[in-house]
A and B are shown apart, each in its own frame.
Chain A
Amino acid sequence: MTAHDPEALRRPNAPTTTYRYDDYDAAFVRERVAEFREQVRRRLSGALTEEEFRPFRLMNGLYLQLHAYMLRVAIPYGTLTARQMRRLADIADRWDKGYGHFTTRQNLQYNWPKLVDTPDILEALADVEMHAIQTSGNCIRNVTADHFAGVAPDEIEDPRPTAEFLRQWSSLHPEFSFLPRKFKIAVTGAEHDRAAIMVHDIGLRIVRNDKGEIGYQVVAGGGLGRSPFVGKVVGDFVPRHDLLAFLEAIMRVYNRFGRRDNKYKARIKILVHEKGIDDIRAEVEAEFAAMDRSVFVHDPEEFERIAGFFAPPPYESLARDSQILHAAKLETPAFANFADVNVSAHKIPGYAIVTVSLKPIGGVPGDATSDQMRVLADASERFGFGELRVSHEQNIILPHVKQDDLFALWRMLDAAGLATANAGLVSDIIACPGMDYCSLATARSIPIAQAISKRFADMSRQRRIGKLGIKISGCINACGHHHVGAIGILGLEKKGQESYQITLGGDPTFSASIGEILGPGVTAEQAPDVIEHLVDFYLAEREEGEAFIDTWRRIGHARFKDALRREGEDGADI
């Protein structure tokens, strides 16, 4: 079977590169749909009040937002098949308004579903082994993972079997479904972290010990939001066979001792901060020791069963470098640009990882129309074994593209408006939906992203600037991850107007740091000017090969503040 045989990919016994449901999984999601259908009926009849219905509505991913309901579909560890992507497109057309929004937790949001249609939408998802289970609510959420899983050259182990193992363990957990607050887990399995594990409630880092055995470094208490924290190590090396027991111990300590008196102090990061990591480690270890861990003795077997689904696809034996690619780059500068910016090295010779940017200049970050979703599905079948990924940076990844096919792929993407060559650059902005959609927001975020994107539209300027992560949140809940943006922007309200607070120095990787505030908020009109001043200052000060965060760390926050103050003396009210 080759990548160019879409029909073969659709046969039931086609090789898998990701998890496939067995009868138990399929029955479970169907039961869930039936349960929710009943819950909706009981809500409409009044058997359930809104207060009672709300947690169960949330545990099926359904929010009530500014203009309409919003349904958040789970994309476990950000991995999708072409068939699933097509179903997402169909749902957008049939029950929504022809588009969807990819999120910073690798999920997809529909902005206009009706409550009464949601059971049918969930059924349409169940048909293709998808669901919206626990994408909201005070429970364990979608377990996210490195979007380059299975194909990155720096990988130690594919994190997705672990993520799938945890997805099942956390689904409808009888003890941990009414936690003090939401709980987010991320898994990474490479030398560089692309899953932001240091700012999750639990972050798992797959490591090898001296004996070469695989285990997990377990980090807990990271999180963004009103009080951002970098996580701390609670387990240095947890062997695979102890993983679920260890996580249960953490969950039990959190469920019992997490604060329930104040919504803004209820995450595990507050518990770790207030009690101290040593205290929490001791509690977790005590619980781990007291548990009956014999119930987990067969876990390794189940793990192996799951891992078997994540087999590498039938890669061809190719030369390391593609002559076709080389020639196409020389011939078409726009394609060369794309190949240099949006293509990452693959562990298999002759292959490449492609980042499809959902950040067209001046567009809504992370949005895709149903037509674009279909193009992506087609592209994955023609050029990538029918598999796609969603990154927490709100882009789509095609993880198995032959270098020989990159030009043909680019042309296909370009025709669909999906070839913006800005992956990781200043216009590849992460932005939450903000007050254009979200009822929690204090300000809009998308227009700021659009204005900045347009200010830096010039591609050669963007390339000169290099990698620069701007992240924008429309409220303190920080769904745009602004705390860990090299440049972060937080939308607030000041005197009845939208006001934007800028932070510098955030980092979501293993060298995680929380950004520092630059000064008082600026207006929407000023924001692109301020960003431009900051970028220009960085360009003037940087040394060879320094990314923005590196320069900032070297010369210090005060220098950037001064640079803006000097600009401010020209009249801008910064």
Chain B
Amino acid sequence: MALISDGRFIEDDWRRLAEEEALPKAGKVIVSLARLPHALEVLGPESALGVIVPNTTEVLALVESAPRLQLVSISFPAFSDGRGFSLAGLLRRAGFKGELRASGRLVADQYSHAVGCGFDTIEIPDDLAERQGEEQWRAALNAYAMSYQRGYPGRGSILEARRRAARP
């Protein structure tokens, strides 16, 4: 898998833990939602904990554990399935401040959507990364100076810029 951050491919210092693998004593590990309760009990302060969740996850399932999570990865079963974009916003609203990762076959053209919804990083399969290299991701990030919507992070809001321009 390749990891995109700020328009560049970076090394992933997180590791996805297989279901049957034992929880390590240290390091940054991503567990499944099913293993999360156990991981929270068992892992000590030297470990950083992340969870990978389906895009249909109810936010309530994560609200309690959110303060102890450094990363939440949301699966995108298909790039055309936009539920993860709503879930990301709901997680931020619930107070999650860690790394939000979109994981799936997202295409570069969705980068600004992902960033706009609060995602920090995007994880894609290698075959996709080969066809859609860094330049395409970087270009996608810079395709638009601003967006029309208010309340979404990422680029500035055109409406806010207009308002500021109207009051010199």
Chain A interface residues (CB < 8 Å from chain B):
22, 24-25, 27-28, 31-32, 34-35, 38-39, 42, 46-49, 52, 55-56, 138, 168-169, 171-179, 252, 255-256, 260, 290-292, 295-296, 298-299, 301-302, 305
Contacts and interface: CB of A to CB of B under 8 A. Distances in A.
Contact of A178 (B80, B115, B116, B166): B80
Contacts of B166: 305
Nearest to A244: B150
B139 A38 contact: yes
Contact of B107 (A25, A32, A52, A296): A52
Most buried by A among B80, B89, B131, B162: B80
Contacts of B114: 174
B136 A177 contact: no
A299 B162 CA distance: 12
A299 B150 CA distance: 9
B144 to A, nearest CB: 5
B86 A255 contact: yes
Interface in B63-92: 79-83, 85-87, 89
Contacts of B154: 174
Main DSSP-derived SS at the A contact region: helix
Contacts of A255: 82-83, 85-86
B151 A178 contact: no
Interface string B139-162: 100011111111110100011111
Contact of B82 (A32, A178, A301): A178
A175 B86 contact: yes
Contacts of A32: 144
A301 B148 contact: no
Interface string B92-113: 0100000000000001011011
Interface of B: 79-83, 85-87, 89, 93, 107, 109-110, 112-117, 131-132, 136, 139, 143-152, 154, 158-163, 166
A255 B80 CA distance: 12
Contacts of B159: 168, 298-299, 302
Main DSSP-derived SS at the B contact region: helix
Contacts of A49: 131
B59 to A, nearest CB: 10
Contact of A173 (B110, B139, B146, B149): B149
B158 A28 contact: yes
Nearest to A168: B148
Contacts of B110: 178
B109 A256 contact: no
12 contacts: A24-B146, A24-B161, A28-B144, A28-B158, A39-B109, A48-B107, A172-B144, A174-B154, A178-B80, A179-B82, A255-B86, A302-B162
Contacts of B150: 295-296, 298-299
B86 to A, nearest CB: 5
Contacts of B149: 169, 173-174
What 5 A-B pairs come out closest when comparing CB atoms? A178-B82, A174-B116, A295-B151, A24-B158, A174-B113
B152 A24 contact: no
Given A39-B109, A292-B93, 12 more contacts: A42-B136, A46-B131, A48-B131, A52-B107, A171-B148, A174-B115, A174-B117, A178-B79, A179-B82, A295-B150, A298-B160, A298-B163
B145 A175 contact: no
A47 B137 CA distance: 12
B151 A292 contact: yes
A48 B79 CA distance: 13
A543 B143 CA distance: 62
Contact of B85 (A35, A48, A175, A305): A175
B163 A175 contact: no
Given A255-B85, A256-B83, A175 B113 contact: yes
A48 B109 CA distance: 10
A299 to B, nearest CB: 8
Given A42-B136, A175-B89, A31 B144 contact: yes
A481 B69 CA distance: 51
Given A55-B80, A172-B144, A174-B116, A47 B132 contact: yes
Contacts of A168: 148, 158-159
Contacts of B147: 172, 174
A138 B86 contact: no
Contacts of A25: 158
Nearest to A170: B148
A172 B136 contact: no
A252 B85 CA distance: 10
Contacts of B112: 172, 174
Contacts of B81: 178, 260
Contacts of B80: 55, 138, 178
Contacts of A22: 162
B88 to A, nearest CB: 8
A28 B143 CA distance: 10
Nearest to B81: A260
Contact of A175 (B117, B136, B162): B117
B143 A34 contact: yes
B82 A177 contact: yes
A202 B149 CA distance: 19
B85 A178 contact: yes
A220 B149 CA distance: 22
B153 to A, nearest CB: 9
Contacts of B93: 290-292
B86 A256 contact: yes
Given A255-B85, A292-B93, A172 B107 contact: no
Contacts of B160: 298
